[in-house]
Chain A
Amino acid sequence: METVTLTIKNQPDLFLEADTITPDAFAGKKIEEIADLHVYVGREQHRLGDFFEISGKAGATPEETKIVVNGDLSRVKYIGMKMTAGEVVVNGNADMYVGAWMQGGKITVNGDVDAFAGTGMKGGELIIKGNAGNYLGAAYRGDWRGMQAGTITVTGNAGSDIGTFMNGGEIVIGGDVDVHVATHAEGGRIIIKGNAKSRLGGQMVEGEIYVLGSIDLMMPGFAYREDVDVDVDGIKGRFALYEGDLGERHRKRKGQTIYAKLYQRIEA
């Protein structure tokens, strides 16, 4: 695998839209060609090279291309958007839409990301070592096809609205989450190692939520069923199982109604 290193040298005075920072856009290109890729500040078009020092070498294909982005990227949007393969490492905080609509490959952010990371994700791996903003792994507005597959791992906390319209894949949050988790979800799994506030599983059809810490307020549509032993993805212990959303439609399998499941840890 070849590596291209970008180091931000000029901060945009508004925000930089850099959806070209992907292995797909870099693969097979010379450094000069990569520097010529388009980025935008408002309605102005610029070169990637106007904002970044670029060094190293791109692979022939996205699979063989790794991108390392250094510096304060908290005003840079769309890093890794729609990428299909290869690797992106962000050493710093990044703005919105990291890994949005990504289909494959791996993104590691050694810092925080703002909202809409992993929007409409179809595959691949998104690792955030800091905190994530709102709408992590959620669907784009209006789309009933949210996260389909892949994994998102956040070491710190996440904001509100994670996993909206989730259909598959997994989101693991190391810390706490804000309100509204897995709204309208029809599949997938969300693991919250810290505490949750309220509105977990609202309008949820299918899928699983695990909460290891506290929940401020349970949805009225989630009913306690029983205590169960859980051993999933390294999460072990005794959990209280709730099913819901009782107000929502659910399909039946062999005469049994299939509900979404919410597990809250009682003891490790």
Chain B
Amino acid sequence: MAEYLIKNGFVFDPVLGIKGDKADVAIKNGKIVETTALGSPKVIDAAGKTVMAGGVDIHAHVAGPKVNIGRNFRPEDKLFGYKARSGIERMQGGFSVPTTIRTGYNYARMGYTTVMEAAMPPLYARHTHEEMRDTPILDQGAYPVFGNNWFVLEYLKNHEIENAAAYIAWLLRATKGYAVKVVNPGGTEAWGWGLNCENIHDPVPYFDITPAQIVKGLIEANEHLGLPHSMHVHANNLGNPGNYTTTLDTFKLSEGIKPNSKFGRDQVMHHTHVQFHSYGGDSWVNVESKAKEIMDYVNSHENITIDMGQVTLDETTTMTADGPFEHHLTELNHLKWANADVELETGSGVVPYVYSPNIKVCAIQWAIGLELALFAKDPMRIFITTDHPNAGPFIRYPRVIKWLMSTEAREQQFDAFKHKDKVIDATNLAGIDRELNLYEIAQMTRAGPAKALGLAHMYGGLAPGLEADVAVYDFNPNEPYAPDEIETAFLNAEHLFKTGVQVVRDHNIASNGNKRTLWVNAKVDENPQVMRDVREKFLRYYTVTLNNYEVTGHYLPNPYVIEVDATE
């Protein structure tokens, strides 16, 4: 493999603590190395440019059944926006739900190298892996969903943590999954009957368990196993006025639980797209920001991490395993609605949505997302996401970065709102003058998410020994700049290295890379009861046989297995 020396860039690296100093980054055999370890490297002149580790996305919907529903049922999302094939690049289409090819290329163009698929229905794991296989360049993993799974509901009803853990380990292996995801715990099972669980004590029909028990039990099972990532939750009551109390109640379920993981993370709960969960008021008329209250809690509790779910004010496609929420949404906007309930496991819904700057609620949502990041005391615990494509497509991350780094950019956006004054009244943002710096951006997009994923030993920084994922942006932080220059620079990385391969050269895709799929193989003690339960449920309730369930090798042509030993 070629050696590279990226010279004289302004480096921002929270892992090494470099805050924009000029430094050189050396790449050899796919890893970052000391500059002295290089023989005769290719030299990349990064003088006057910004250098960071490859970006890490902790939560995006980029592969799998509901993403493909979004693609296939929205031909209009691809109208006139298609990019023709040329050179090594295959054709690329779709704005809010891009094709897998475009997904890989566009993340790379933004300097991202690792992207986690946030919700994999276990029965559809094979599909999710097929899509990830066809997503070039990126290292990826997928989170199977557990929060409405009948095994989990039955084990946790009786607080059988060991059984839940053994089942989790089995399912991670069967689906080649990465982490424990929970979406609207209990609520999606209730949606099997057209119902929902609206707060953490709302019992799940028939199963005699509450969302609180599910979340707490899954945190405990997750820590029992010592998985790389923590339990990753999308709480009940998403998207409703006044829901911030449900969010705080959910946060509190993690109190007193300490991480048990050899992978360096400090949190036991990651709460995703918190923007959608930080609403005050009791109707859409008086909805208001509770970002302050939410962040007060997060700032003072070190065992929690969150991501933003920033609204980008675009026409997009919402998609979530929160089935009842999507039904609620289609009732509001009357646009096409897809729903896909999955036997014994989960569900999902998909609805297009237009976040218009002319609609007050959309503008309030926009402000809340930014407030979360701007109220953050520790940027290593709050991450930039748009819950792609729910609050907006990932291709807007550079715009989010612009808003976070520039009060001027935020003021421009406020001025473009139809109901500017009402939005200012309902939110805190206009009163916040904090501008994040590139070091904090690197924390929120690289080092922070890598650490929370338990992957700090691979990603998120430029320390020798880490994967050689390095982005060079044509952006000089020491010169005066207009806000839009931030967006332009972060949208078009000048160079990107992924595991030592140059995948973007002079702003162009130069290689399809060496994509890997990460999954977690957790070894547990033999658990005959769980295996009996598995056989029983497949025999009686599933519509596929147990022997046809497990995702086998060829769906992951380049797997990267993270071994966890949870045996006694």
Contacts and interface: CB of A to CB of B under 8 A. Distances in A.
Contacts of A141: 75-76
Interface in B61-99: 73-77, 79
Interface string B422-465: 00000000000000000000000000000000000000000000
Contacts of B73: 142
B51 to A, nearest CB: 41
A144 interface: yes
B78 to A, nearest CB: 9
Question: What are the 10 tightest A-B residue pairs by CB atom distance, in nearest-first order?
Answer: A143-B76, A142-B75, A142-B76, A141-B75, A142-B74, A140-B76, A140-B79, A144-B335, A249-B334, A142-B73
B336 A144 contact: yes
6 contacts: A140-B79, A141-B76, A142-B75, A142-B77, A143-B79, A249-B334
A144 B73 CA distance: 12
Nearest to B78: A142
Contacts of B334: 249
Contacts of B75: 140-143
A143 B75 CA distance: 8
Nearest to A145: B76
A142 B73 CA distance: 7
Interface string B327-371: 000000011100000000000000000000000000000000000
Nearest to B72: A142
B389 to A, nearest CB: 16
A110 B334 CA distance: 40
Interface residues of B, number: 9
Interface in A214-268: 249
Of the listed residues A142, A143, A144, the one surrounded by the most CB atoms of chain B closer than 10 A to its CB is A142
Interface of B: 73-77, 79, 334-336
Main secondary structure of the interface of B (DSSP, over half): loop
Of the listed residues B74, B76, B77, B335, the one surrounded by the most CB atoms of chain A closer than 10 A to its CB is B76
Interface string A26-66: 00000000000000000000000000000000000000000
Nearest to A249: B334
Interface in A141-169: 141-144
Given A140-B79, A144-B336, 15 more contacts: A140-B75, A140-B76, A141-B75, A141-B76, A142-B73, A142-B74, A142-B75, A142-B76, A142-B77, A142-B336, A143-B75, A143-B76, A143-B79, A144-B335, A249-B334
A249 B77 CA distance: 25
Contacts of A143: 75-76, 79
Interface in A108-141: 140-141
A249 B333 CA distance: 12
Nearest to B73: A142
A24 to B, nearest CB: 14
Contacts of B336: 142, 144
Contacts of B79: 140, 143
Nearest to B335: A144
Contacts of B77: 142
Contacts of A249: 334
A228 B335 CA distance: 34
Nearest to B79: A140
Nearest to B74: A142
Contacts of A142: 73-77, 336
B381 to A, nearest CB: 40
Contacts of A140: 75-76, 79
A179 to B, nearest CB: 22
A141 B73 CA distance: 9
A140 B336 CA distance: 14
A249 B251 CA distance: 39
Contacts of A144: 335-336
B291 to A, nearest CB: 32
B466 to A, nearest CB: 43
Interface string A163-186: 000000000000000000000000
A45 to B, nearest CB: 11
Contacts of B335: 144
A183 B463 CA distance: 61
A231 to B, nearest CB: 33
Nearest to A143: B76
A80 B301 CA distance: 61
A142 B334 CA distance: 14
Nearest to B333: A144
A142 B338 CA distance: 13
A234 B506 CA distance: 63
Nearest to A82: B80
A142 B336 CA distance: 9
A27 B376 CA distance: 54
A141 B78 CA distance: 11
